[in-house]
Amino acid sequence: LDELTVGQRFASGAYRVDAKQIIAHAREFNPQPFHLDDAAARETIFGGLAASGMHTAAITIRLLVEGGPRLAGGIIASGCEIRWPRPTRPGDVLQVKSEVLEIEPSRSRADRGFATLRSDTYNQHGEIVQTFKIKLLAPRQRSSSSAERQTPAE
């Protein structure tokens, strides 16, 4: 937590999504026609195969874990707010751009705090497929003498 500052920005790597992945995720978690089959999806409000929102959210987490803030305890969320202004489509290449919005020490625990990120997920056309506010739990060092302390990288 001590190494994060409000306004700090992070850009993730890229993640390509194909129809096979969209359908596999939907079969397991969201078996509705517009997430399973392109022909059926054309008859719906989506007008073609679209990823489940939670698939886009899960990919966003993956991109944050790999290319977001480096926190000693890892990326651990206590909650989030999501909006999906447009769906992720087959062939889309997603990237996440994040900014630290707020940092707050825990009221009950001196060794931790929370960092709120805004993380927007873009497709290859620069369009936002997801806006995301995520509250992360972050360890906090109690004194400068422990600043070199590392948790074992397991």
Binding site for a copy of itself (CB under 8 A): 25, 28-34, 37, 40, 43-45, 52-55, 57-59, 61-62, 65, 73-84, 137, 151-152, 154
Burial class of residue 145, CB neighbours in 10 A (0-12, 13-18, 19+) = exposed
Q: Chain-centre distance of CA 68, in angstroms?
A: 9
In terms of Cα–Cα distance, which of 4, 18, 12 is closest to 51? 18
CA dist., res. 149 & res. 140, Å (int)? 11
Task: Using the minimum distance from each CB to a copy of itself, give the nearer residue, 19 or 80.
Answer: 80
Q: Closest approach of Cβ 9 to a copy of itself, in Å?
A: 22
Distance of closest approach, residue 97 Cβ to a copy of itself, in angstroms: 19
Q: Rounded to the nearest whole angstrom, what is the least distance from the CB of residue 80 to a copy of itself in the complex?
A: 5
Q: Which is nearer to a copy of itself, 4 or 82 (CB)?
A: 82
Contacts of 31 (CB under 8 A, 6+ apart): none
Of 57 and 117, the one with the shorter C-beta distance to a copy of itself is 57
